Amino acid sequence: MAKIKPSKGAPYARILGVGGYRPVRVVPNEVILETIDSSDEWIRSRSGIETRHWASDEETVAAMSIEAAGKAIAEAGITAAQVGGVIVSTVSHFKQTPAVATEIADKLGTDKAAAFDISAGCAGFGYGLTLAKGMVVEGSAEYVLVIGVERLSDLTDLEDRATAFLFGDGAGAVVVGPAQEPAIGPTVWGSEGDKSETIKQTVPWTDYRDGEVAKFPAITQEGQAVFRWAVFEMAKVAKEALDAAGLTANDLDVFIPHQANERIIDSMVKTLKLPEHVTVARDVRTTGNTSAASIPLAMERLLATGEAKSGDTALLIGFGAGLVYAATVVTLP
């Protein structure tokens, strides 16, 4: 019986560089209040959101991704030609095929990198990071680009009082490459499809195409159900990720949860009993909920402002539509 030659990858993988892109247009709560009966105080108290960014026609999913990816590649100290894989997590690229990752890989100047999209909602960055780690360690690529990108303004119903104020646009990217010691911990991930109705697209694209509904599909959610699930169940998942990495909350320097809602973030901090020295990402205040882009965008901002530094130990957790989730501990680039 013939034996297959074993793969020869790196012993471990790590994040080598991070980059972000936020659209030029900044949208304050006052703009949202033009279409819903609410107040700035109510929006801030319910979500912590003060502003968000909305993309122009030129700031496409691909264009924002290329900007963020270019920064991540430069920070990693490699060239685009060295990138062997491009993974893009998004729910707001409106071409079913081809994958937008292929366009991004080409325009960045990669050397025919493997390229594909994934749809895992707000947990998408964690899913992509896990896949990238596997590719580097397995040896199918030396460097892998992971991009979370959304234009959620295209999927926002501005008359829906429960969601109109939540969503923003943007792209975050990281380069994952070889390491000589562990720097991306085991991923704790999963799904709870029995709760899929709590965050969903209002109607299938075909209903809009066939004229069964007049309004373009949007994202909707059952706010209280999502809040309870995120606070209680995701705190357990975060703890499992710490346990899997052989760490405790006291070992953390940084906590970067999905930027869904500041009330959820505050509740998770309390439930996890994070020490005061742990820096907590609160990018949601000025960026809003950018789904798959939220964790890398928050990471990029913390490093740029000096609130976090290279070598810090950070707990990442994403959670959202599906319902899906992914948590892991990483060493920051």
Q: Would you say 32 and 26 are in contact if contact means Cβ atoms under 8 Å apart? A: no
How many angstroms separate the CA atoms of 323 and 312, rounded? 29
Q: What pLDDT, in 10s, does the model give residues 81-134?
A: 999 999 999 999 999 999 999 999 999 999 999 999 999 999 999 999 999 999
In total, the chain counts a number of residues equal to 333
Strand stretches in 152-277, DSSP E? 169-179, 188-191, 199-201, 219-221, 254-257
How many angstroms separate the CA atoms of 86 and 121, rounded? 18
Number of H helices, E strands in the chain: 11, 14
Sign, CA dihedral 194-199-205-207, equals positive
How many angstroms separate the CA atoms of 332 and 330, rounded? 6
User: Which amino acid is located at 42 in the chain?
Assistant: W
Burial category of 223 from C-beta neighbours within 10 Å (exposed 0-12, middle 13-18, buried 19 and up): middle
- The structure tokens listed for 151 are 């234009």
Burial category of 266 from C-beta neighbours within 10 Å (exposed 0-12, middle 13-18, buried 19 and up): middle
User: Which amino acid is located at 54 in the chain?
Assistant: W
Q: Would you say 328 and 241 are in contact if contact means Cβ atoms under 8 Å apart? A: yes
Q: Would you say 281 and 259 are in contact if contact means Cβ atoms under 8 Å apart? A: yes
**pLDDT in single tens digits along all 333 residues of the chain:** 899 988 889 999 999 999 999 999 999 999 999 999 999 999 999 999 999 999 999 999 999 999 999 999 999 999 999 999 999 999 999 999 999 999 999 999 999 999 999 999 999 999 999 999 999 999 999 999 999 999 999 999 999 999 999 999 999 999 999 999 999 999 999 999 999 999 999 999 999 999 999 999 999 999 899 999 999 999 999 999 999 999 999 999 999 999 999 999 999 999 999 999 999 999 999 999 999 999 999 999 999 999 999 999 999 999 999 999 999 999 999
Name the residues annotated as catalytic: 122, 258, 289
Spatial CA neighbour of 264 closest among 293, 294, 244, 242: 294
Give backbone dihedrals phi and psi of 317, rounded to 5 degrees, phi first. Answer: -150, 130
